[in-house]
Chains A and B, each alone.
Chain A
Amino acid sequence: MWRVIASVLAAFFGVQKESRRQEDFSRGGAGPFIVAGVLLAIVLVALIALVATLAAG
């Protein structure tokens, strides 16, 4: 679970290690990655919105 989140975060960040990638892609299903990706995208939106709201004060 933690590994999936870490990989998706790496995707958001745009940097990933080859070895990690090999592991991710030998895990089988893409399901967990897609779910984590959607959830974290929502978290990202909420986070930016939060910062914007605070900044607008």
Chain B
Amino acid sequence: MASHLPPKSSTQHSQPASAGVASQAHEAPKGLKRWLLTTNHKEIGTLYLVLSLTMFFVGGLFAMVIRAELFQPGLQLVEPEFFNQMTTMHGLIMIFGAVMPAFVGLANWMVPLQIGAPDMALPRLNNFSFWLLPVAFTLLLSTFFMPGGAPNFGWTSYAPLSTTYSPPSTTFFILSLHMAGISSILGAINIIATILNLRTPGMRLMDMPLFVWTWLITAFLLIAVMPVLAGVITMMLLDINFGTSFFSAAGGGDPVLFQHLFWFFGHPEVYIMILPAFGIVSVIIPTFARKPLFGYASMVYATASIAILSFLVWSHHMFTVGLPLVAELFFMYSTMLIAVPTGVKVFNWVTTLFRGSITFEPPMLFALAFVVLFTIGGFSGLMLAISPADFQYHDTYFVVAHFHYVLVPGAVFAIMAGVYYWLPKWTGHYPNLRLSQWHFWLSVIGVNLTFFPMHFAGLAGMPRRIPDYALQFADFNMVTSLGAFLFGLSQLLFVLVVVLCVRGGEKAPAKAWEGGEDLEWTVPSPAPLHTFETPPDFQPRRH
């Protein structure tokens, strides 16, 4: 395995010495107050990432409970009621607590560094949008201790199970989701304002690194759909507490309305969780292939195309609710169309590797695994698009396999790739190579052992969200559970790597990766608290 190759050239840009001095000139508060009051994009980025990692383990713990119960047929550990709370909270925590904040954290850290901005455009808003989240998740997790327990209707919260038949804690779930939603919208506004206004002179939109581009598009998606989520959960709130009947046929409402509104939010949400991952991978692969990204323009255009199409496909989550035939066909065709720009991206990554000069540092390992395993998730997505076949796949473990492939070795691996890639910039040290490799290989094996057999369980007829199952699914579930335990345990290695890297390790130069061409590699490692107080020189290079 290749070791790190510090750049030999002396062309590194270095920050003006004044940068470091300026940071000391501030009377920065210490201790807890420093973190509560910080408006610095790097500190807020770190806060987001720490919250995300914490939530990743909380949600992971729930997954372990689920997998332990499903290890063999029969009810062994938990009651069905609690099992449903586990599946619901696992989904909510992982989506809103782990994946989304991780991407916002990476954006906070890296967007200003990649566009040569001194900070985010709206630093105080940035602080507020972060601190909403710990409050939101504390409230959400506190529902476990309420009478009737935590929400138990699945993260999709289909009415009327989530309204008329829901536990009393549902109102608190709605409020916490509102807070997380406000946080996302404010974060998105901040990212858009930063990207559109604070690019260093000379950097045009089309000169931006792809991570910045994908986040720009993601931020618009967030602004478009988070209000829809807010609307639909508010309607739930009204149905539960104020006697309305949006989702109750008895009062003239319609439970299908809930699903339309939810998925009009939910499908773009899927892309919110994957587009920044595309961006990270599109930045990492060229660095370690030492070759420019193939089809940069196409990549940007394909991202835009996916974003637009993501608003036109929501009902493919609802093929079995009794849609009219025309609607069924419409959503089948539009869903098949979205596979095309997604395919273009995969082809471009592969072609970027072709005739490169490839090395396999930890970030690259995760990025490469992303390409393969995300593509597998894309294939099952294509299968799910075929509406007649979806009547068989829908609500089975085949779907669970599909979305976990795009979310775990998809989004989560991309986040880990990003963390390994930028850790030297954040801490000034390279992560321990041997441990990182162990973490990678155990994760790859664990993730596939966990999610690959789910395809078979689903095709053989196992519905999702059940605490106990028929005997023919026993073997698949046992393998899945073992894989899940392996994957879960190996994430402790990740924490170890990060902690060790913060405390010490091989020193990283400003340009930590030989092939790194973006602006973040021109500031010292670790990046000082304040960077780019004067806009850096930027030479537009052809991507």
Q: Contacts A21-B206, A25-B204, A48-B312; is A14 near B326 (CB within 8 Å)?
A: no
**Nearest-neighbor residue (CB-CB) of A38 within chain B:** B308
Taking CB atoms, residues of chain B closer than 8 Å to A52 are: 326-327, 329-330, 333
Q: Are B326 and A17 in contact (CB under 8 A)?
A: no
In the complex, are the beta carbons of A49 and B305 less than 8 A apart?
Answer: no
Contact residues on B (Cβ < 8 Å of other chain), bracket? 20 to 34
Are B297 and A18 in contact, with the CB atoms below 8 A? Answer: yes
Q: How far is the CB of A26 from chain B (nearest CB, A)?
A: 8
B463 at the interface (CB under 8 A from A): no
Q: A25-B206, A37-B308 are in contact. Are A14 and B301 (CB under 8 A)?
A: yes
Chain A interface residue count, CB cutoff 8 Å, equals: 24
Contact A14 B302 (CB under 8 A): yes
Check if B204 sits within 8 Å of A14, measured CB to CB. no
| Cβ 8 A contact of A18, one of B327, B329, B344, B542 | B542
A interface SS class: helix
Q: Do A10 and B301 touch across chains, with their CB atoms under 8 A apart? A: yes
A contact residues around B341 at 8 Å (CB): 13-14
What is the distance, in angstroms, from B292's C-beta to the closest C-beta of chain A?
A: 10
Measured CA separation A49–B308 after assembly (Å): 16
A25 and B205 contacting across the interface, CB-CB below 8 Å: yes
Q: Which residues of A contact B301 (CB under 8 A)?
A: 10-11, 13-16
**Proximity string of chain A (11-55) to chain B, C-beta cutoff 8 Å, 1 when within and 0 when not:** 111111110111001000000000001000100110011011101
Q: Are B205 and A41 in contact (CB under 8 A)?
A: no
CB pair A11 B304 closer than 8 Å? yes
* B312 close to A45 (CB less than 8 A): yes
Does B295 make an interface contact (CB < 8 A)?
Answer: yes
Chain B residues lying within 8 Å of A13, measured Cβ to Cβ, are 301, 305, 340-341
Q: From residue A38, how far is it (CB to closest CB) to chain B in Å?
A: 9
Which residues from B are CB-within-8-Å of A15?
295, 298, 301-302, 344
B302 touches A18 (CB 8 A): no
Smallest CB separation, A48 vs chain B (Å): 5
> Per-residue 0/1 for B332-354: is the Cβ within 8 Å of any A Cβ (1 yes, 0 no)?
01100100110010000000000
Instruction: Say yes or no for A56: interface residue by CB 8 A criterion.
Output: yes
A12–B297 CA distance with the chains assembled, in angstroms: 12
Residues of A within 8 A of B (CB): 10-18, 20-22, 25, 37, 41, 44-45, 48-49, 51-53, 55-56
Other than A14-B298, A48-B334, A52-B333, give 16 A-B pairs with Cβ distance below 8 A.
A10-B301, A11-B305, A14-B301, A16-B297, A16-B300, A18-B296, A20-B297, A21-B206, A25-B205, A25-B206, A37-B304, A41-B308, A44-B312, A45-B312, A49-B326, A56-B329
